[in-house]
Amino acid sequence: MWGALRGHNPRFTRQLIVSHYILDFACRAHKVGVELDGGQHGAMMEEDAARTAYLEAKGWTILRFWNTEVMTNLDGVHWSIIEAVARAATHPRPLPFREGS
């Protein structure tokens, strides 16, 4: 996954600490975090949901993918992440245009 994200602009980072959590990958500029979950997360769904809710309350968009999904569909996962960053990059209320000022 890092190989697909590391050359992207805006930049991604690995193992970003946000409060008391560590995101697997993150685009700081647009606050998009990516979590890759292995089989152990099947038993941690409540903890993962609480973690996601906490980070979203801090303004982050969190994407979760199973490790097997990354291994079998890297292109699809990559494009899902890129699309999420593109959506986050669009300002919901652009500044007004000041013609003639």
- pLDDT of 91 reads 61
Enter the pTM of the model: 0.80
> Mean pLDDT per 10-residue run, the chain (101 residues)?
90 95 96 86 77 95 94 96 90 56 48
Phi/psi-derived region of residue 65, left when phi > 0, alpha when psi is between -120 and 50, beta in every other case: beta
- pLDDT of 43 reads 60
What residues does 24 pair with on adjacent strands?
none
What residues does 33 pair with on adjacent strands?
26, 62
Sign of torsion over alpha carbons 48, 52, 55, 60: positive
Three-point CA angle 83, 3, 53, nearest 5°? 50
H/E element holding 23?
strand 21-27
